[in-house]
Amino acid sequence: MAKAPKLLSLPKGLAPDKLRPVCDPGSLGFETTEGLPVTQGLVGQGRAVDAISLSANIRQKDFNIYVLGNVGMGRHTAVEQLLGKAASERPTPCDWIYVNNFEMPHKPNAMRLRSGQARALRAAMQGLVDDLANEIPALFESDEYQTQRRAIEAEFGQRHEEPIAAFAERVQAEGVALIRTPMGFMLAALKDGKPIKPEEYEALPDDAREEIDAKIGRLQEELASVLKLGPQLEKEHRKRIEELHAGMAERVVTLRVSEVANAFSAEEGVADYLETVRQDMISNAELFLISMRAQNDGPFPEAIRKYHRDPHFDRYAVNIMVSHDEAQEDAAPVITEDLPSLGHLIGRIEYVSEMGTLATNFTLIKPGALHRANGGYLILDAHRILTEPFAWDALKRCLQSQSITITSLAERLSLASTITLEPDPIPLDTRVVLIGDRRLHMLLTLLDPEFGELFKIQADFEDDLPRNDLHTKEMAQVIASYAAKENLRPLTAGAVAALLDHALRLASDAKKYSLQLGVLTDVMREADHYTAQARRDLTDETDIEKAISEAEHRASRIKDRLQEAVTRKTILIDTEGAVVGQVNGLSVMGIGGHAFGRPSRITATVRMGTGKLVDIEREVELGGPLHSKGVLILGAYLAAHFALDVPMSLHASLVFEQSYGGVDGDSASSTELYALLSALSGVPIRQGFAVTGSVNQNGEVQAIGGVNEKIEGFFDLCKARGLTGEQGVLIPAANVEHLMLHRDVVEAARASKFRVVPVTTIDQGIEVLTGRKAGKRGRGGAFSKNSINALVEARLRDFAETRRRFGASNGADENGKEGGS
């Protein structure tokens, strides 16, 4: 009986300092962050900062910018700081107002004014109307007006009465009286100087009555001719009164309007506007008399001034769209619109209900974010504007035309039948900054051909920063600055070092710091809370570590339930012993922002076949394309490395046991290959090890993601069952520089109770898992005796020979049957 080969000893694994390279607090150069200068700079974002600065300062159009990166990278802070600096070097923009278009009220006129002049013009117009509302009624109560009014009334009264009096004298000579009644004039025959009574008229002979009727009929026709002159005289009368009003009002209106015009003589367009106002006020002087009769405190009392809502004098109001106080601002605006709906972006037209109908005028035009940011910068969230109906289309239209045209959503959807306004477009000179993620930027570039034309610059924020002495000190300075900005307690050097270690962990790379400053700030805030509970003045490393562990504990309910299922053997995972064709694989599960490792049992079965490798996950449509790709690589590896001179006669199947969800990714491909090699060679695999890593067709083990979570997931299971000193994890050697494991894993490795073993090839890994030599081909082309590869090749050759014999015997049987028949 052949003696079993001696098992190889377990490798030592990586040294503890390789599992968790930590920052030395003494290298930071300070004891606490108290007194450190606050920096406003961004560390490691030079590429993005240069892009933002270019967009902020270049004067050509269409150089708008899309700022892309992950949440928590400090994008908003960087944008606001850089744009604020650029805005301070630009002049204060001009003011914009809307005024009434007296010829076409539905098309209000936009007017540009120097900075700060919009409020002054509005106040001047209100003062103008207030003054005229007092002066014009007083003028119409003067003796001069009353004298001229009485003269006009007397003249037209005489012109109206003279024809009627002459007609009355003439008809009286013919024995007929002209009688005034409430209904007008009537004619009646006279007898003895008095109108004939009806009974007297009936008693007259027929010929007398006929004579009277003929006379009355003829005179009525003449009376109608006389009365026709009345409407014409009334028209002339009204015209003379209007001319009198206009003449009286023109003197005071012209004087007051000229005062306003002189005050704004330097403003382009104001003189022309005030001339139209003067003409309209003269033509509508009665408005001031109506207002005086309706109220005694002027047309713009305080309550009405507050809301700009005097129905008689809206026509003379000034609707300010945007106004700047140059003395206070002295910079271009930087506007952030958190709700970029269509109305909030380009402005809107409001309506009021009057007598059951909707009405509007130019004073109800409201500005949008583009108006407020005109001449400066507008910051928008890309996802939010894309989810608002018609907002993205409106933004592109405004940028393309370089003007702001106000349209309502109801008008775009043809839902409103009421009369609306068509305000003049306002010229646009604004740099738009979109902040979003990389995926959205890719989709916009791919699906919207106008996006690349309008947003020519992208500012791509780095996710991490190389770890070196310079960047370590810069990161420490940024952490100190964020603590000061958030009004947190000072941090000790140990606390800052713990945060830098956490930044390495977030980056999943021991040689790079994560730039997720938002996450680090959240840790500092929570740690500050624990410091306050302990009534200490300084936040130390214990507070930081508590904040990190508590955050992980809050998110680990599902992780703990899965761990419990494994320890209770509801989910079967072995951590001791050795089994053929069975290996522990590692995967990562993500729940929200929390990721954790999950061990899985992977098994392989083999038998003679036609070279088919069955992926059960793929067969039931639970395996993703990347996982299927990894399984196909396994088949290629076996076919290219073993029994090259015979047909591949293997039928094998692979499965993730007790996996009821989708499986994707190729990080388990090396694990599956180990299970296949064990099943083919008949050599059991040590169950105290778990494996992760992908493999290529040449048998090289490749790096994977989530290596820290995977190692810790298997370690937690082993720890719960009891560490034996013969447990560990195989990882790709390329992942060593990504290790930043929890302290308990490091301490177990230091005590030789757990080990992390890096491998570069499948041969190295199978030796660790089986304790047997993998074997290499000698000069004769055969693998070394009793090696894993030799056993695998022998098994495959045996399959091929068995298949050949089976095929030959099956062919002979068929030939015998044919001959017998």
Burial 756-788 (b: 16+ CB within 10 A, else e): bbbbebbbbbbbbbbbbbbbeeeeeeebeebbb
- Residue 156 carries which side chain, given as an amino acid letter? F
Spatial distance between the Cα atoms of 668 and 704, rounded to a whole number of angstroms: 9
Beta bridge partners of 612: 651
Spatial distance between the Cα atoms of 73 and 96, rounded to a whole number of angstroms: 37
E strand or H helix at 270: helix 270-283
Those residues with Cβ within 8 angstroms of residue 36's Cβ, 6 or more apart along the chain or in another chain = 30, 477, 480, 481, 484
Spatial distance between the Cα atoms of 109 and 277, rounded to a whole number of angstroms: 13
Both tokens assigned to 797: 């050759």
Enumerate the H helices of 614-706 as residue ranges: 616-619, 625-641, 669-681
Residue 570 CB: number of other CB atoms within 10 A?
A: 10
Write out 738-807 in H/E/C secondary structure: HCCCCHHHHHHHHCCCCEEEEECEHHHHHHHHHCCCCCCECCCCCECCCCHHHHHHHHHHHHHHHHHHHH
The answer to whether 784 is a known catalytic residue is no
Spatial distance between the Cα atoms of 408 and 358, rounded to a whole number of angstroms: 14
Distance of alpha carbon 126 from its chain centroid, rounded? 41
42 in Cβ contact with 487 (< 8 Å):
no
The answer to whether 283 is a known catalytic residue is no
In total, the chain counts a number of residues equal to 821
55 in Cβ contact with 336 (< 8 Å):
no
Both tokens assigned to 764: 């190295």
Distances (CA, A) of 184 to 193, 218, 448, 818: 22, 18, 78, 134
Spatial distance between the Cα atoms of 322 and 96, rounded to a whole number of angstroms: 5
Both tokens assigned to 375: 């001449």
* Per annotation, catalytic residue among 710, 719, 753, 773: 710
Positive/negative CA dihedral, 479, 485, 486, 491: positive
Burial of 35 (0-12, 13-18, 19+ CB in 10 A): exposed
Spatial distance between the Cα atoms of 252 and 282, rounded to a whole number of angstroms: 9
Spatial distance between the Cα atoms of 716 and 690, rounded to a whole number of angstroms: 12
> What is the per-residue DSSP string for 20-37?
-----GGGGS-SBSTTPP
* Per annotation, catalytic residue among 481, 667, 694, 787: 667
| Strand, helix or coil for residue 332 | coil
Burial of 472 (0-12, 13-18, 19+ CB in 10 A): buried
Pairing of strands 685-686, 578-579: antiparallel
332 in Cβ contact with 107 (< 8 Å):
no
731 in Cβ contact with 768 (< 8 Å):
no
98 in Cβ contact with 423 (< 8 Å):
yes
Spatial distance between the Cα atoms of 135 and 143, rounded to a whole number of angstroms: 14
- Rg of the chain taking only CA atoms, in angstroms: 48
- Residue 792 carries which side chain, given as an amino acid letter? V
Spatial distance between the Cα atoms of 695 and 762, rounded to a whole number of angstroms: 8
Spatial distance between the Cα atoms of 799 and 803, rounded to a whole number of angstroms: 6
Residue corresponding to tokens 């790379």:
509
- Residues catalogued as catalytic: 667, 710
